Amino acid sequence: MSEIRVLSPATVANVVCGFDCLGFALSAPCDEMIVRIIERKIVRIVNRDDFNLPTKPEKNVAGAALLSMLRAIDADFGFEVEITKHIKPGSGIGSSSASAAGAVVAANKLLNERFSRLELVEFAMDGEKVASGDRHADNVAPCIFGGFTLVRSLNPLDVVTLDFPPLFVTIIHPQIEIKTSEARKMLPAQVSLKDAIRQWSNVGALVSGLQKGDYELISRALEDFIVEPVRKILIPKFDEIKNESLKGGALGGGISGSGPSIFMLSETLETAQKIEKVMREIYEQTTIDFNIYVSEINSEGVKFVN
């Protein structure tokens, strides 16, 4: 095996009430990546898109993740990674995580699956830190494990994979950039006990609703009293998108990761497509370009392709 090609999916982190712990993977969009072993003990980044991302490995999320992996095995070789990004950086749908996770999953295949998925999440978090300034796993975990995940603890790392019923996701990506590192600086350093109680009750209810396939409970649990009120002001038409989507039959939703993307969950594909129309009509009244994706939840995560 001289090279491995993967499709690394976009992800939605936080899932409204689960800041920094809940996330799920999408079927589309995906980044395309090819990883090769090279003789020199370096990581070489080859960007095949127009995003002008850093090529110094320690400043590139895929590069930093691969360096972390090479250090763990004291390798006498290196990796080259070719990246074609389709997930725009700063979109809030896990662009940096897709690069970091795709790189380590592909590299691990070249190393005959030497590392577990949990270990790969650790390496990918070292990449994620380059983009967001923090090691958080709520995007890289679903990208690597697929489906819905809950990061119970970072130290020691504990990732719980969750069962979930059929769910369809509509995501609007307004073409404005919000840097995760900036969006994290806006967050309150402290929260009241009252808000904390409401928040963790909703996380428990959401996990239970997902496991039982109880759509009404899922819908009731999609509330966020801590992060959404602070961050939504950065996203034009946020409240209108949310209110109209709920009227249109969506179960609920909110800011995807640190924004600006907004996601809504629906029980059926028909409703998800109806929500796409609702979102389109609202954003067509603005001068902001946007993309809308309708996707299933991707149970596989990073996928090997020929």
DSSP letter string, 138-189: TTHHHHHH-SEEEEEEETTEEEEEE-----EEEEEEES----HHHHHHTS-S
Residue 281 CB, shortest distance to ligand HSE, in Å, is 27
Per-residue tokens: 271: 């409703």
Residue closer to ligand HSE (CB basis): 34 or 235? 235
Residue closer to ligand HSE (CB basis): 95 or 219? 95
The footprint of ligand HSE (CB under 6 A) covers 13-14, 19-20, 132, 136, 138-139, 180, 183-184, 257-258
Residue 160 CB, shortest distance to ligand HSE, in Å, is 16
Closest residue by Cα to residue 171 from 270, 232, 234, 254? 254
Is 128 in the active site? Answer: yes
Q: With 0-12 CB in 10 A as exposed, 13-18 as middle and 19+ as buried, what is 176?
A: middle
Residue 236 CB, shortest distance to ligand HSE, in Å, is 19
Neighbours of 134 (CB within 10 A): 13
As a whole number of angstroms, the distance between CA 82 and CA 299 comes to 25
As a whole number of angstroms, the distance between CA 1 and CA 14 comes to 37
The active-site residue, picked from 11, 170, 180, 271, is 180
Residue closer to ligand HSE (CB basis): 78 or 94? 94
Shortest-Cβ-distance residue relative to ligand HSE: 257
Residue closer to ligand HSE (CB basis): 13 or 250? 13
Is 170 in the active site? Answer: no
Residue 284 CB, shortest distance to ligand HSE, in Å, is 27
The active-site residue, picked from 128, 228, 267, 276, is 128
Catalytic residue positions? 128, 180
